[in-house]
A and B are shown apart, each in its own frame.
Chain A
Amino acid sequence: DIQMTQSPSTLSASVGDRVTITCRASQSISSWLAWYQQKPGKAPKLLIYKASSLESGVPSRFSGSGSGTEFTLTISSLQPDDFATYYCQQYNSYPFTFGPGTKVDIK
């Protein structure tokens, strides 16, 4: 199975900050990576697919990059609505494993 790791596990930031979250796969997954945002008590929401493609309706301050085993999610200017937990997921092969999550909270 492909293992996914994320760093940091928690990130404290202020509104307007540029935020970067890293996700690493235990083996190459090409660009078969998605990013999700989850708020407490809510279902995850797809933000990015195929490593760098922005899902329809997602603000352009979110961007993704990377391929192979290393990926990043960047929020260019953190907004109040962005405080949440972010997960990466590989969909190169089943089981479609998720990273452990990165919680973005208010500094």
Chain B
Amino acid sequence: EVQLVESGGGLVQPGGSLRLSCAASGFTFSSYEMNWVRQAPGKGLEWVSYISSSGSTIYYADSVKGRFTISRDNAKNSLYLQMNSLRAEDTAVYYCARTAAAGGFDPWGQGTLVTVSS
């Protein structure tokens, strides 16, 4: 079964840091592009970051550029999101999602909640 499982969320103070992880299983992780998408409480979906299968190409949303870093370890079938200088507006459920071969994101993980508050 193709599966993505996020971890690492929690409560952090403004200006703090957090590292999210996404463990992949059931498919050849090294062959797929991956993404992070977030959803603030009661709000819509916001794409956050993309990484190519080899890790050589990376994109960020303007809202996180310079503060967040996406990375992957294909040997460990894992995707990461290092989040620094966190702000209240970064509070959201963070999902990892695979770029489907034919387009769109599929599957998605169950999400991990990040709360930025003092």
Residues of A within 8 A of B (CB): 32, 34, 36, 38, 43-46, 48-50, 53, 55, 87, 89, 91, 94-101
Given the contacts A43-B109, A43-B111, A98 and B44 also touching, CB distance less than 8 Å: yes
A-B contact pairs, 13 of them (CB 8 A): A36-B105, A43-B111, A44-B45, A44-B95, A44-B105, A46-B100, A55-B104, A55-B106, A94-B59, A96-B47, A96-B50, A97-B47, A98-B45
Flag if A43 contacts B102 (CB, 8 Å).
no
Residues 23 to 57 of chain B near chain A (Cβ within 8 Å): 35, 44-47, 50
Given the contacts A32-B103, A49-B103, A87 and B50 also touching, CB distance less than 8 Å: no
Count how many pairs of residues, one from A and one from B, have CB atoms less than 8 Å apart in the complex: 62
- Among B47, B62, B100, B105, the one with the most A-chain Cβ atoms within 10 Å of its Cβ is B105
Flag if B100 contacts A95 (CB, 8 Å).
no
- Among A36, A45, A96, A97, the one with the most B-chain Cβ atoms within 10 Å of its Cβ is A96
What band does the interface of chain B fall in when counting residues whose beta carbon is under 8 Å from A? 20 to 34
Q: Is B110 part of the contact surface with A, judged by Cβ < 8 Å?
A: yes
Flag if B102 contacts A50 (CB, 8 Å).
yes
Q: Is B11 part of the contact surface with A, judged by Cβ < 8 Å?
A: no
Flag if B103 contacts A34 (CB, 8 Å).
yes
B118 to A: closest C-beta gap in Å: 26
The interface residues of chain B lying within 8 Å CB-to-CB of A97 are 47
B3 to A: closest C-beta gap in Å: 12
- Which residue of A is nearest B63, CB measured? A95
A83 to B: closest C-beta gap in Å: 17
A95 to B64, CA, bound (A): 12
Flag if A95 contacts B103 (CB, 8 Å).
no
Given the contacts A87-B44, A98-B44, A46 and B59 also touching, CB distance less than 8 Å: no
The interface residues of chain B lying within 8 Å CB-to-CB of A91 are 103-104
